Amino acid sequence: MRVINRQFLDKVNAEVFTLPFPYFVCPQALSSQLSTELLTWLENDAPWKLVETDFYEQYEFSFFDTQLPPEILFLTSPEYLSQVKNKVESLFSVKLNARIDFTAHKLISGQRIRIHNDYIPNCETHRLLIQLNRGWDDENGGMLMFFNSKNSNDIHKIFRPAHNSSVGFAISPDSHHAVSTIHKGERFTIIYSFYQQVDE
């Protein structure tokens, strides 16, 4: 039986920022072996479903509604999800409750995600994105963009979706972000959604 390194998110290499909203970036989220195993499964066997809304069109699914192969089944275990949550809590200096949503997205040529903030009162408060692909060039498009305001010309930072890199951010009325149009290739992202603990 193959043994996969389950280490998650090297905090030593994570950079944390506070403006225009709290976020962090990390160049390596998963072990090289796990990122490859997961990407191969996403490319070949994942149960993608096309979802269309007013600001995006993409393929997606929930890991909790899917039969995973044995080598990545641990990704949905309470122990591993707790490890992920603890790292995110530490980086943002927040306390999150036990709820975690765990999904995957795929964007293909011609698809994009328009500027939005994902803010819904009393709902998701923090998100972690991990990018997976076979190598990404600028001409592929699909750049993650953070904005200083809801003006799409007011760009704060542009992130190339480098394989196995991660970006986490706090969701608020100010967390405006988008993904530019895909010109070629397949852009895979796994997403953890968290909910801040509310003191009674």
pLDDT tens, 156-185?
999 999 999 999 999 999 999 999 999 999
What is the CATH superfamily name and number for domain 23-196? Answer: q2cbj1_9rhob like domain (2.60.120.620)
Q: What is the pLDDT of residue 7?
A: 72
Look at the block and give the residue holding tokens 């506070």: 18
- Rounded CA separation 133/189 (Å): 9
Tokens at residue 120, please? 């819904």
Q: What is the pLDDT of residue 12?
A: 65
Tokens at residue 7, please? 């280490």
- Rounded CA separation 72/15 (Å): 27
- Is it true that the peptide bond before 27 is cis, omega within 30 degrees of 0? no
Q: Say how many C-beta atoms besides its own lie within 10 A of residue 120's C-beta.
A: 9
Judging by DSSP bridges, how do beta strands 166-170 and 57-62 pair with one another?
A: unpaired
- Rounded CA separation 143/96 (Å): 28
- Taking 70 as the pLDDT cut, the residues of the chain under it are 1-5, 10-12, 200
- Rounded CA separation 155/176 (Å): 10
